[in-house]
């Protein structure tokens, strides 16, 4: 797989026309993330547009509900032909299992490949202090993230979303076939923004990430194409900080 295919760029805009402009500006990008804001504002039309351009789709809805509702939502997503879909691991094993089965049913009915369901372990905007003091979870952050990933694996999900700071531990414990997607990845020349647990792209890949979600360092750059190409070149040339 080419390095450029392992970088997922978020369409973090509020409307489909804005998304189309970004797609036109970055034709080199093969894998795009559609999050809550864009999906709520544009509906599945943006997914149809991405598929018409032969792009891969990470539908990052972070579903979290009772098993029956999760199943209904995942069944509908199975019909869209997306590649990745996120659910919160904290929805519990029954909901994760229901979502996985329903996504497969929806995909088969539509003649699509089954999307890979990824469990959200812990949002990268949260840190150990938030976990302990705000959420009142007594586990240490790495232990909690590992528990959520193992819960997802035991529920039959093929992968998880985690901070690149935890990816090496998860890779060692969950195995080589467990898909790991890492947001919170920032080149050394980019600001971290509201992501609190970040590392460089090269370090994340070296630790075992399958895909990297890299947004603002590319989309908010003065020249997004140059920023995307710079990241790819740093990874291919091994010049990233590891």
Question: Could you give the CA distance from residue 80 to residue 95 in angstroms, rounded to a whole number?
Answer: 20
Residue 171 three-state SS: helix
pLDDT of res. 124:
81
Structure confidence by residue, pLDDT tens digits, 76-124: 999 999 999 999 999 999 999 999 999 999 999 999 999 999 999 999 8
pLDDT digit string, tens, across residues 180-195 = 999 988 898 876 555 5
Q: Which residue has the higher pLDDT, 240 or 182?
A: 182
pLDDT at position 193 is 56
**What ranges do the domains of the chain cover?**
3-237
Note if the pTM is more than 0.85: yes
Predicted confidence (pLDDT) at residue 26 exceeds the cutoff of 80? yes
Query: What mean pLDDT do residues 30-48 have?
Result: 97
- List 51, 62, 93, 97, catalytic entry: 62
Q: Please enumerate in sequence order all residues whose Cβ is within 8 A of that of 111, keeping only pairs 6 or more positions apart, or say none.
A: none
CATH assignment of 3-237? 3.20.20.70
Beta carbons within 8 Å of 180's beta carbon, 6+ residues apart: 159, 160, 161, 162, 167, 170, 171, 174, 208, 209, 210, 211
Q: Do residues 221 and 180 lie in contact, with contact meaning Cβ atoms separated by under 8 Å? A: no
Coil, strand or helix at 10: strand
Q: What is the mean pLDDT of the chain?
A: 93
What is the SS3 assignment for 122? Answer: coil
Percent of the chain at pLDDT > 70 equals 95
Task: Please indicate whether residue 62 is annotated as part of the active site.
Answer: yes
Residue 240 has pLDDT above 70, yes or no: no
CA distances for 172 relative to 119, 132, 177, 208, 240, angstroms: 17, 25, 11, 9, 23
């Amino acid at each position: 797989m080419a390095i450029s295919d392992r970088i997922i760029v978020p369409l973090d805009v509020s409307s489909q026309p804005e998304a189309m402009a970004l797609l036109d500006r970055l034709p080199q990008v093969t894998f795009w993330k559609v999050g809550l804001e864009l999906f709520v504002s544009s509906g599945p039309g943006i997914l149809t547009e991405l598929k018409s351009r032969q792009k891969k789709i990470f539908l990052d809805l972070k579903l979290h509900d009772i098993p029956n509702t999760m199943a209904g939502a995942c069944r509908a997503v199975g019909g869209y032909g997306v590649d990745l879909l996120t659910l919160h691991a904290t929805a519990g094993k029954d909901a994760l299992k229901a979502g996985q089965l329903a996504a497969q049913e929806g995909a088969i009915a539509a003649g699509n490949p089954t999307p890979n369901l990824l469990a959200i372990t812990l949002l990268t905007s949260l840190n150990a202090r938030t976990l302990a003091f705000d959420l009142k979870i007594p586990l240490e952050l790495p232990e909690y993230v590992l528990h959520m990933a193992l819960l997802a694996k035991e529920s039959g999900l093929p992968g998880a979303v985690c901070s690149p700071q935890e990816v090496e531990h998860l890779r060692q414990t969950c195995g080589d076939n467990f898909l790991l997607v890492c947001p919170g990845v920032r080149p050394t020349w980019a600001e971290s923004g509201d992501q609190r647990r970040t590392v460089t792209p090269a370090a994340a890949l070296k630790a075992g990430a399958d895909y990297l979600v890299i947004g603002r360092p590319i989309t908010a750059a003065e020249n997004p194409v140059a920023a995307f190409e710079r990241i790819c070149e740093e990874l291919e040339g091994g010049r990233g900080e590891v």
